[in-house]
Amino acid sequence: MRSLFVLILLAGAGIGLIYPWAMTNFSGREIGTWRVYEQGRFRPLTVSLSSRDAPVRVLVDLTARAERIVSQQRTVLTLTAATNGRTVLASTLRFNHVDNPRQASPQLPDKIFRDEAGLIATVNPGAYLFTVGPGDAEDIPMRAVDLVLRSGVGEIDGRARPIGFSLMAVGLIGFLLSLRSGGGRPENPNSQPPPPRWGRGPR
């Protein structure tokens, strides 16, 4: 039973954690990466997109001198995307769910935190203006901000995370209960004295 619950736990982690992460970071192809913040200045970015790029996933990489981002549910960055004067994406980014940031460089203490700004499902050919700005979070030691666009990405099934987390809970609880109900070690039959023999013993 323990092996079964371990398999359920691993399946839940794959569905709820690994699958969304892989779809976000590796599905489709990368259109490009552009620096939109450096040396204390934000700069707008204009990118030409075509209909064959759809859907386009918008990711933001924040380089900061920190082990983790503690934003206290405040907004670290804001992002909007517009084309022909129409806003097609507006997002707030907190970065506080990133547990394993990437190392910017072996020689630097900076870490790179990635957050998803959203998905542009329908792309009309033309120029898209991306504007990244500061949020209301304070004391975030930002070094740089990069905008990453990926095209032709797969859309994450909204049921994946709830199902995955439910399986993880079932597997973990079942595994812990199996440890408790396992009892002590099986009794060694050689540890008991031999039963008495009937009849006369040797003379």
Task: Judge contact between 116 and 50, C-beta under 8 A.
Answer: no
Of all residues in the chain, the percent with pLDDT exceeding 70 is 77
Structure confidence by residue, pLDDT tens digits, 146-187: 999 998 655 555 676 678 778 778 777 877 888 877 654 555
Model pTM above 0.75: no
Which of 31-45, 100-114, 156-170, 175-189: highest mean pLDDT?
A: 31-45
How large is the C-alpha radius of gyration of the chain?
28
Task: Judge contact between 127 and 83, C-beta under 8 A.
Answer: yes
Residues 6+ apart with CB under 8 A from 126: 48, 49, 83, 84
Residue of 153, 126, 130 lying closest to 26 (CA atoms): 153
Structure confidence by residue, pLDDT tens digits, 49-69: 999 998 999 999 999 998 888
